[in-house]
Structure 1
Amino acid sequence: MTLWASLLFVGCLPLYAAAHQPAQEQELTDLPLDKLLEVKVTSVAKRPARLSDSPAAIFVISQDDIRRSGAATIPEALRMVPGLQVARVDRNKWAISARGFNDTLANKLLVLMDGRSVYTPVFSGVWWDTVDTLMEDIERIEVIRGPGASLWGANAVNGVINIITKSAKNTAGGLLSASAGTLENGAVGLRYGGRLGESSDYRVYGKYFDRDAYKDANGKDAGDDWRSGRGGFRIDSRLSADDSLTVQGDVFHNSDGGAPINDYYPAPPYVRQQSGDIHSDGFNLLSRWNRRLAEDSGLALQFYYDQNNRHNPVQGSRFLIDIVDVDLQHDFSVGDWNHITWGGGYRYMHGDSAPSSTTAMVPDERNDHLFSLFLQDEIKLIPEQLRLTLGSKLEHRNLVGYQIQPTGRLLWTPDNKNSAWLAVSRAVRMPSWVEQDLRYNALTLPPSPPDAPLPTLLRLTGNRQFHSESVIAYELGYRAQWRRDLATDLAIYYNDYKSLESIEPLPCSALPAAGYVNCPLTFGNLLYGHTYGAELSVSWSPMDTWRLQGGYTYQYMSLKVKPGSGYTEAAADEGNNPNNQFFLSSSLSLPGNTRFDMALRYVGETPTQNLGAYFTLDAQLTWKPLSQLELSLMGRNLSSEYHREWTRSFAVTPTYLERDFLATVRWSF
C-alpha cells in the first residue's frame, strides 16, 4: 500500500515538479569519449589521479551507467566489468570474483564502500545481500582487476571494488523512487538533503524492498524471497579553507529466504532438510577528516565502526562481528620528480558465535588485531612520459604473523591519447575464522553391515596451522583513444599462486560409545597453480546520441596438488570459472527525452557447474516527461524464461532465474 500510495502521490505532482528546475549534474556517459580518460579515480594511488595515468587494470561504473543498466543491486551493476565473473545463485545470493576462483564464498576480492571494508573475517569474503545503499546516491564504482594489496592490504589478491557515494553537497533536495513488477512486490526509496549552517551539507535516506522468490528445479516456489530495509545519513563539513570532515552511517535489516539444504547427523535419520529465513542486522558509523597541507600535500584520518549480526532462527546459529578501524594517510612531493604516500592503520575484529546442531566455531569467541604500515613512491623518470611506482604494505595479525606485499609499476604515456603500463605485485589472503576454528558436519554415510556396522561422519574442522595464500602477479596494459568516438583498454595478466586452500583428510577413528566413526577433514595449504588471461573493453559512439560499450574476458586456470595431499577437487575448482565472457551494452537517446538501453551478456560453459554457455538480455525504456519526473520499464533475462547461473555451492541450494518486468518512477523535488 505504501508503494502504490507513493506512485499515486508522484503522479499528482507534475505541476509542482515543473515549477522547480534544479541544475542537472553531468554524468560520465554524457562526456565525449576523448574526455573519459581524464576522469579522476582514487583506488589506484589512494589519491585522485587521471584514469589515463593509472598503471592498473581499472574500470569505472558511473551513476549514469547504473541508471541506464537498470541495476537494482550493486552485484547487478558489476556485470558490465570485464574480468569479473558475476553469477547469481538465487534471489539474494551471488558468486562474484575477479580473474578466477569464483564461489559463493569467494575470498580473493576486497570490497570497500566509501573507504570502509565490507569483507567479513568469518570467511574472508562478502555477504553481498548486506552491501547496499540507495542506488541513485552512488557516484561511481571503481573496479581494479589484479592485486591492490600494496595499498589496501590482505585480501586484495585478485582485485578491489571501491563503491563511492556522492557528497552531500551533490544530493541537495529530495528524491523519491518507487518500483513494482512481476517479481518485485514493491520497492521504495526516499532521500532528502540540504544545508546545515554556512559550511555543512547533509542528506538522509531510507529504502525498503520486498522481492519475490525464484523457482526451484521442479518449477515451484524456491522460498528464496528477500526483504530488506535500511537507512542512513551523511554530513560533509568545510571546517576551514584547508580542512573538511565527513560523518556518515547506515543501519539495515535483511530477511533472506532460501531453498532447503541438508543437515547431517551421526544418528538416524542421518540427514534432515532444513529451511528458514536468515536474518541479518547491522549498522556502521564512519568519520573521515582531510587536511590540505600544501598544493600537493595532504593528511587524512579515517575511523569507522561496523557491526553485523547474522543469525538463522531455525538452526539456532549466529555470527556477531564487531570491527573498529583507524587509518592515517599522508602524501607529499619531494621536488618535482616524485610523490610519496605513506600511512598506517589498526583494525580490531571481535567475533561471537552461537552453534547449531551441525555447525560450530571453537572457540565461540575470538579477538583479532591487525596492524599495518604502507609506503608508496611515485617517481617521474621522464616528465609527462615515464613514471615508476614502487610501494609495499606490511601487515601483522595474531595467529598469522607478518606479511609483506610489494608492487612495482611502470607507466609510459607518449602522448595524451595513449598509455601503456606493466606491473609486478605480491599479495596475500590471510586465513579466515572458518579456516581456523570451524566444526561442521559435512556428510554422513549410513551404516552398511557387515563391513560398516556404524555410520561414518565426515566432519570439517578448522586448522590453526593454516597459513596465508599468496600470489605473484604479472600484468601488462594498454589504453588508446583511437578517435574522438573510439577508445579501448586492454589488460593481460599471469598469476602464480602458492599455498592455496585444500581440504585434507585425517585418519578415521571409531567411536563405539558415540555410535559412529569419525572421519575428520581439515584445511590445508597443499594446492598451487597459475592463471592467465586477457580483458578488453571498447567504447564507441557511432553518433552523439548513441554509445556502445563492450567487454571481452578470456581466462585460463591450472591447479595442482602437492605430493601427499588428499585433495581431489582441483579439477573441479578449475571448472568453476568460464574461459570466455562477453558483454555489450547500447545506450540510445531518442527524441522527446526518451532513452532506450539494452545489455547483452554471454557466459561460456562452466564444466564444474554442469552449465552450458548462455546469453542474457536486458532492455529498458525510459521517458522524462518533466525534468524532475522519470518513468521507466525494464525487462530482465529476456533471452529465456528460466536459466541457472550457478549450481554448486556450500550450504546453499541454487535456484532458477526468471524473466521478469519492472516499472519504476523517480521524482526529484
Structure 2
Amino acid sequence: MLTGLCKPWEIAVLTLAILGIVDRALGDDLYSSDEDYFANDFSTNDFLASDETDDFEALLELPIEELMEVEVTGSTMTSKSIVTAPSSVTVFNQQRIKELGVDKLHELANYVPGFQSYLSSGWSHNHSISVRGRRISSALTDVLLLIDGHRINNARTGGASSAVPTFPLSQVERVEFIRGPGASIYGSNAMIGVINIITRKNANQATLAYGTHNRKTADLLVNDDLGSIEVSLVAHHDSDNGETYDVISNNTQSIVELRDKREFSDIIFNLAWQQTEVNLQYYENASKGYFLEGSTPDKDNRRESNLFSARLNQGFDWLSVDSNVSLEYQLSHLTLHGQVQEQGTFNLLSDPPSDAPLMTDVNFDDIEGYRVFWLNNWPLSDRQSFQFGTEYRFQKVRKTYAKSNFDIAALAEQSFPIASSDTMSIPTLVQEATTRDIWGLFGQYQHDITHATQLTLGLRYDRYASIGSEVSPRASLVHSFNNHHSIKLTYGRAFRAPAENELFLVNNPVIVGNPDLKPETVSTWEAVWLAQWQQTFISLGYFENHFTDSILLAPSDTGKLVFDNVRLKDSRGMELELHHHFNARWSSRLTAMHLFNNAQESFKEADTVGSISINYHQPNWQANLSSVYQGARETVISNSDRIKLNDYWLLNGKLAYQWTSEWSTNLQIKNLLDKSYDTPNNNAPMNNPVPNRGREFLASVSYQF
C-alpha cells in the first residue's frame, strides 16, 4: 500500500521530518546549538567503545574540507587526498560503510557515481560490477580489483567477480572506487576503473548475525603485537537458503522452482615486521539450485570456486629512494556441474537414442599466477617526485575437459547423431592449456608546480607473449582556484589483454574462443569540478571514452557466438557526488550518473543511476535511510528479441545501538518496500529476465575485546 502512495524520495522526506521531530524533542536539552555539539568532548561518553567513538566523533568534528583529505593511494601508488588525486575517486572508510544498510562490495558500488551492479544469471551471487555503462562480460574484466595490494583478477577469465563475488564490507578499513584508466601504473584490466581495498588490521571484534532466508553470518577480527611483530586476522562466513522463484524453463516452457542459495567464506592473515609484510588470503564460495552460467535453471545445478593468494612485500631504502619488492602467488579452482539442455532435447539426435537432459561436469583446476613487482618512490625535491618500477607476471591455465552424458564436441560441430551414455563418461576438451609471460615497465612524474597546481605524467609499457605490446600514457592537471573551488583535467589511455578463455575456449555449442584477438583499448578525457565548504562538498565531472578493438561476443558464420574485436560507439556522460552536513546530527549524500550516449552493445546497462543517503546520529545510536536508483535496461529472451526492464528504486535502512563499550547491535533492512524487480540475464538467452530478492532483514550483535 505504501509503495502505491509514495515514491522512495517522498518516504525519505517523511522519515526525515519524523526523525527531526524526535531530534528536537530529545535533543534540545543536550546542546543549545550545533557549535556546542561540535565543540563537546565526546571522550567522556561511557556508552560508546573508546576507539570507535573517538574515530566517529572526530569525523563529526571535522569540516568537509578536512574530510576530503582522507587518504587515497590507488590512484598514484602514493598518498593523495580526494581533491589532489589525479582521478575521479570515491572513498568509503569503515565508519561510513557502517552507516549504510548494505554489507557486500557489489551493494556498496551502487552508491558510487558511475558504478552499477545487479544480479545476473551466471550463478546465485553473480553481482558483476560495471563502470560508466560498459559491461562486456559478467566477469569484471575491465576493472582491476586490488585487495591489500593483491591483484585478484583471475588468469583464465581476466575477471575478479568469479573469485570474490561478494566481498564482505565488515573487513574493509578503506575502499577506493577509482573511475577512469589506471593502466599507466597497473597495466591490463585497469581499463575503466580500479577498486582498491585495504582490509582492517587494527580491530578486535566478533560479530554474529541472523536474518531472512535463514541467513547466518559470522565475523572475527583479531589484531595483536608479538613483540615487534604485528599480526592481524580477519575471517568471515556467510550462508543462506535463498529465496524461492518460479521461472520458465528454456525449452519446455514449464515452470521450474529454484532457490538462489549462497555460501561464502574467506580468511585474510597479515604479519608485519619492520619493512617486511606477509599477507595470505583465501576465498571460497558455492551456489546450488540456481542458474548456471545462464543455462537451464535446475535444482541440481552447482557452482563452487576458491582462490588462494600469498604475498611477500619487502621494503628497503637505497640512496634517497623508497623501494618495495613484492612476490605474489595465486591459485584458483572452479567447478561447474549442471544441466545444459532439458530432458528430451536430443532424443532423436543421439546414438543410442536418449531423452536424458544434457549434464556436464567441468573442473578448471590449478589456475596459477605468479607476480614480481618492484616499486620505487624517488623524492626529487619538496615539490617533485618520481615513481618507477617493473613488473613480471607468469600465468598458467591447465587443459580442461568436461565430462558429460553426451558428446559435446560432436554437438558443437553439429555432427549428428551424437554419442550418448547412461553415465557422465564422455570427455570433451573445453579449454586449451596455456602459459603466458607478461612484462611491464612504468614511470610516473608528480610535480607541485605551485601550492595550488599539481601535474601528474605517467607512462607504462606492457609486453604480452604471443599477444603483443601496449603503451599506456597518462596526464593530469589539478588546480585549486581558492579554498573552495578546484578542477581536475585528465587524459589516459588503457588496455585489456584478451583473457585465456576468450582466446582458447573450444568445443562449446554456443560460445567459442578466438586466438586472433587483439587487446582492447580506451582513451578517456575527464574534467571534474570540486567545490567544498565547511559543511558541503560537491564533485561534478564530465567524461568521454573512445574505444578501439573492443572484445565482444559476435555471431559467426556457424551460428555460434565468437569473441571478436569490434568498434564500439564512444560514450560520454556526467557524474555527481554531493555531501552535506546539516548539523552535527544530520548528514546526507547524493550521487548520480547520466550517459548522454552509450554503445548499443551495452544495452543491459542503465543510462541513469544514482543514490541518496540520509544519516542521523546520537551519541549512542544512529539511523540511516538510503535509496539506490537504476534506470531502464534491456535484456535478451530466448527468441533473441530484446525486452525492456523497468527502472526501479531500492530502499535500504539501518539502525545501530551501542549498549556498552564492548557490546553493540544493529538491524539492517534491504529492499525495505519489498520492491519486485528484474535484472538482465547472462549471455545465454532465457525465457525470462532474472528475478531478485524482496525484503531482507539482518540483525547482528558485536563484541569488542
TM over 0.5: yes
* Alignment-derived partner of residue 14 in structure 1: none
Hey, what's the Cα distance between the residues in 2 that align with 1:487 and 1:263?
42
Of 446, 451, 454, the residue aligned with 1:378 is 446
Native 8 Å contact 1:75 1:128 kept in 2: no
Q: Secondary structure at the match of 1:130?
A: coil
* Alignment-derived partner of residue 190 in structure 1: 220
Native 8 Å contact 1:89 1:655 kept in 2: no
* Alignment-derived partner of residue 580 in structure 2: 540
Query: Aligned-pair distance for 1:579?
Result: 1.2
Query: Aligned-pair distance for 1:434?
Result: 1.6
Of 608, 629, 635, the residue aligned with 2:663 is 629
> In structure 2, do the counterparts of structure 1 residues 429 and 69 end up closer, same or farther at CA, with 3 Å as the change threshold?
same
* Alignment-derived partner of residue 250 in structure 1: 281
Hey, what's the Cα distance between the residues in 1 that align with 2:327 and 2:266?
22
Query: Aligned-pair distance for 1:121?
Result: 2.9
> In structure 2, do the counterparts of structure 1 residues 247 and 650 end up closer, same or farther at CA, with 3 Å as the change threshold?
farther
Query: Aligned-pair distance for 1:73?
Result: 1.6
Query: Aligned-pair distance for 1:154?
Result: 1.2
Of 516, 524, 527, the residue aligned with 1:476 is 527
Hey, what's the Cα distance between the residues in 1 that align with 2:704 and 2:93?
19
Native 8 Å contact 1:317 1:353 kept in 2: no
Query: Aligned-pair distance for 1:306?
Result: 1.3
* Residue 100 (structure 2) pairs with residue 33 (structure 1): no
Hey, what's the Cα distance between the residues in 2 that align with 1:380 and 1:361?
56
* Alignment-derived partner of residue 231 in structure 1: 267
* Residue 616 (structure 2) pairs with residue 588 (structure 1): yes
* Alignment-derived partner of residue 326 in structure 2: 302
Within a 5 Å distance, the mapping from 1:560-639 to structure 2 comes to 571=600, 573-590=601-618, 593-608=620-635, 610-639=644-673
> In structure 2, do the counterparts of structure 1 residues 227 and 497 end up closer, same or farther at CA, with 3 Å as the change threshold?
same
Deviation larger for 364-373 or 30-39: 30-39
Query: Aligned-pair distance for 1:19?
Result: 12
Percent pairwise identity: 21
* Residue 329 (structure 2) pairs with residue 289 (structure 1): no
Native 8 Å contact 1:260 1:275 kept in 2: no
* Alignment-derived partner of residue 319 in structure 1: 364
Q: Once the two structures are superposed, what CA deviation does each residue of 1:351-377 show, in whole Å capped at 9, x if it has no partner? A: 124332448666532111111010111
> In structure 2, do the counterparts of structure 1 residues 299 and 183 end up closer, same or farther at CA, with 3 Å as the change threshold?
same
* Residue 507 (structure 2) pairs with residue 462 (structure 1): no
* Alignment-derived partner of residue 338 in structure 1: 384
* Alignment-derived partner of residue 128 in structure 2: 95
Q: Once the two structures are superposed, what CA deviation does each residue of 1:301-327 show, in whole Å capped at 9, x if it has no partner? A: 112111111112442212231111110
Within a 5 Å distance, the mapping from 1:141-540 to structure 2 comes to 141-166=175-200, 168=201, 170-171=202-203, 174-197=204-227, 199-218=228-247, 222-238=258-274, 244-260=275-291, 275-291=300-316, 297-314=321-338, 315-320=360-365, 321-356=367-402, 357=404, 358=408, 364-381=432-449, 383-439=450-506, 441-442=508-509, 459-481=510-532, 483-508=533-558, 519-540=559-580
> In structure 2, do the counterparts of structure 1 residues 367 and 308 end up closer, same or farther at CA, with 3 Å as the change threshold?
same
Hey, what's the Cα distance between the residues in 1 that align with 2:216 and 2:644?
34
Q: Secondary structure at the match of 1:658?
A: coil
Taking structure 2 as the reference length, what is the TM-score of the superposition? 0.79
Hey, what's the Cα distance between the residues in 2 that align with 1:62 and 1:214?
31
* Residue 685 (structure 2) pairs with residue 656 (structure 1): no
Query: Aligned-pair distance for 1:583?
Result: 0.4
Q: Secondary structure at the match of 1:151?
A: helix
Q: Secondary structure at the match of 1:41?
A: coil
* Alignment-derived partner of residue 97 in structure 2: 66
Hey, what's the Cα distance between the residues in 2 that align with 1:183 and 1:329?
47
Q: Once the two structures are superposed, what CA deviation does each residue of 1:531-585 show, in whole Å capped at 9, x if it has no partner? A: 00011100001111111011011113443xxxxxxxxxxx3x2322111112001
Letter in structure 1 aligned against 2:444: Q
Letter in structure 1 aligned against 2:234: Y
Q: Secondary structure at the match of 2:78?
A: coil
Query: Aligned-pair distance for 1:21?
Result: 6.0
Query: Aligned-pair distance for 1:607?
Result: 2.9
Hey, what's the Cα distance between the residues in 2 that align with 1:96 and 1:175?
29
Native 8 Å contact 1:263 1:274 kept in 2: no
Hey, what's the Cα distance between the residues in 2 that align with 1:263 and 1:389?
43
* Alignment-derived partner of residue 551 in structure 1: 591
Query: Aligned-pair distance for 1:503?
Result: 3.7
Hey, what's the Cα distance between the residues in 2 that align with 1:143 and 1:640?
29
Q: Secondary structure at the match of 1:95?
A: strand
Q: Once the two structures are superposed, what CA deviation does each residue of 1:222-246 show, in whole Å capped at 9, x if it has no partner? A: 23201123323111222xxxxx222
Q: Once the two structures are superposed, what CA deviation does each residue of 1:608-665 show, in whole Å capped at 9, x if it has no partner? A: 4621110000011111111221111111101234322333444998332221111111
Hey, what's the Cα distance between the residues in 2 that align with 1:551 and 1:194?
38
> In structure 2, do the counterparts of structure 1 residues 395 and 658 end up closer, same or farther at CA, with 3 Å as the change threshold?
same
Please identify which structure carries the higher strand content. 1
Q: Once the two structures are superposed, what CA deviation does each residue of 1:455-476 show, in whole Å capped at 9, x if it has no partner? A: xxxx432111110111111111
Letter in structure 2 aligned against 1:291: F
Query: Aligned-pair distance for 1:380?
Result: 3.2
Native 8 Å contact 1:299 1:330 kept in 2: yes
Q: Which runs of 5+ in 1 are unaligned?
A: 1-17, 239-243, 265-270, 443-458, 509-518, 560-570
Native 8 Å contact 1:259 1:655 kept in 2: no
* Alignment-derived partner of residue 153 in structure 2: 119
Native 8 Å contact 1:215 1:656 kept in 2: no
Letter in structure 2 aligned against 1:655: P
Q: Secondary structure at the match of 1:71?
A: coil
* Residue 110 (structure 2) pairs with residue 79 (structure 1): yes
Native 8 Å contact 1:292 1:298 kept in 2: yes
Q: Secondary structure at the match of 1:39?
A: coil
Hey, what's the Cα distance between the residues in 2 that align with 1:384 and 1:263?
54
* Alignment-derived partner of residue 515 in structure 1: none
Query: Aligned-pair distance for 1:281?
Result: 2.4
